[in-house]
Amino acid sequence: MHRSIHRSVAQIVSAGLLALLVTFGTGHERALEGQQGGEYSDLTFTKDIARILQDNCQVCHQDGAIGPMPLTEYDVVRRYARRVLRMVETHEMPPYHYDRDVGVQDLKYDPRLSDEDIGKIRAWVEAGMPEGNPDDMPAPVDWPDPAEWRLADRYGEPDIVVRSEPYDVPAIGQDRWWKPVVPTGIEEERCILAIETKPSVPGRGVTHHANSSFRVNGETAGRLSEYALGKLGEIVPEDACRVAPANSEVAWDIHYWPNGQQLTDDQVEIGIWLHPEDYEGDYQQTLTLYMLRGGKGYDIAPHGTLMTQGFHSFDTPVRVDSWQPHGHTRLVAMSLQILRKSGRTEMVSMVSNWSALWHHSHIYEDDVAPLLEVGDQLILTAWYDNSENNRYNPDPDQWVGIGDRTADEMSHAWLAVTHLDEEGMRKIKEDRAARLISEQGSSQPDGSHQ
């Protein structure tokens, strides 16, 4: 599966990249095989596997949550064990599509399963899924009250709460999109410290995603946030100011997913924590949509493929804090690269198993967030496959153009970018170098970390 996904992407990328992807594919399998040979023996559900499912899966796979089956009890997990293995080996679950073999790997809120845990699940399934001693079973997780703000531990109650307008979700039916526009009540421009989106408690099983943007005088004024279950929220880096504009409204884009449970007057909430009024931040962070192909239209022929690219440069040095690719069902892969003014290219991030079901913002850890000097460029590349090789393609016989419907395509990415100056750039580089040296120092002289 892992390989066949790469193969469908490979059909439409250049031969060079093809070779690269195939190499990574087999390298990965070899790594997994290496771990199976006896390294994990005597694994049981109660002792080893339940803990992995608690830490990585049950937030969505429990009664009342969005996953199709609860992965809490042995009998159920045993029944679905082969599917569980397939989903973790292909990196489809937990749902976070981001290549492991290339680019920046230190990400904030990274839910990806470790190769070690994947190897354990495989070894356990191959050993016939033994239950083990019931006394080894870890205590059930005390899930945080979903009615509470998860960031309240850190920051207290939010300064501003904006609620979507009430909406009735039927028990059975098609997906729904709900797009109300609601005033924020923010009168003076302020800097945002953190953002969290929270569905209602009964609604958390059907709120598939909830995105929000600021709007001022009817015009979009920047993305506010993106939510999918399991996501903590967004915290703006220490040195930056993400502006909450004066006299703004929140434009919601909520995707409800009827799952047998009727909801009346459902509301999704967004909590915004603000810096004090006099905080300015050293630099501005913007969350902006970056187009590929200059936003110009394109057509993908029936059974055809297409690649689009976008190039972006900046007037000041910048730090890229996060990247969120966007496309629909014909998109199969997207990458973010930097073209240095020296002519060298660097791969920052790649998603080669895109799924339009999930939209994630990949947030780089502070010390590895890519830095661009003036003259460097971002290159965004998207690959589309309108053939039957694309398992998400609803109809390979159609021409596909750019547009809003899921049946149309899109070609852009959201990037949070902090706009620096020469001095800020120098300071960030010095701080990173200093931290690196002190980390190396602390692991001396015997090479062990304290």
Site residues (vs ligand HEC, CB under 6 A): 56-57, 59-61, 66-68, 71, 80, 83-84, 87-88, 93-95, 113, 229-230, 357
Q: Measured between alpha carbons, how far is residue 250 from residues 219, 244, 338 in Å? A: 11, 10, 33
Q: Which is nearer to ligand HEC, 61 or 326 (CB)?
A: 61
Q: Which strand (E) or helix (H) includes residue 160?
A: strand 160-163
How many angstroms separate the CA atoms of 159 and 273, rounded? 5
3-class DSSP assignment, residue 106: coil
Minimum CB separation of residue 335 from ligand HEC in Å reads 22
3-class DSSP assignment, residue 437: helix
3-class DSSP assignment, residue 245: coil
Minimum CB separation of residue 80 from ligand HEC in Å reads 5
Q: Which is nearer to ligand HEC, 229 or 410 (CB)?
A: 229
Minimum CB separation of residue 142 from ligand HEC in Å reads 18
Q: Which is nearer to ligand HEC, 51 or 163 (CB)?
A: 51
CB atoms closer than 10 angstroms to residue 79: 13
Q: Which is nearer to ligand HEC, 111 or 245 (CB)?
A: 111
Tracing tokens 């996060």 back to the chain, one arrives at: 322
Q: Which is nearer to ligand HEC, 50 or 229 (CB)?
A: 229
Q: Which is nearer to ligand HEC, 77 or 420 (CB)?
A: 77
Minimum CB separation of residue 227 from ligand HEC in Å reads 11
CB atoms closer than 10 angstroms to residue 301: 12
Q: Which residues pair with 285 in a beta bridge?
A: 242, 418
Minimum CB separation of residue 419 from ligand HEC in Å reads 32
Tokens of 166: 């009430």
Q: Is 184 left (phi over 0), alpha (psi -120 to 50) or beta?
A: alpha
* Cβ burial, residue 163 (10 Å; 0-12/13-18/19+): middle
Nearest to 181 by CA among 234, 233, 254, 257: 254
Minimum CB separation of residue 242 from ligand HEC in Å reads 25
Tracing tokens 């039957």 back to the chain, one arrives at: 388
Q: Which is nearer to ligand HEC, 50 or 88 (CB)?
A: 88
3-class DSSP assignment, residue 408: coil
Minimum CB separation of residue 416 from ligand HEC in Å reads 21
Q: Which is nearer to ligand HEC, 87 or 240 (CB)?
A: 87
Q: Which is nearer to ligand HEC, 112 or 340 (CB)?
A: 112
Q: Which residues pair with 244 in a beta bridge?
A: 190
Minimum CB separation of residue 237 from ligand HEC in Å reads 25
Minimum CB separation of residue 450 from ligand HEC in Å reads 32
Q: Which residues pair with 295 in a beta bridge?
A: none
Q: Are strands 240-244 and 283-291 parallel, antiparallel or unpaired?
A: parallel
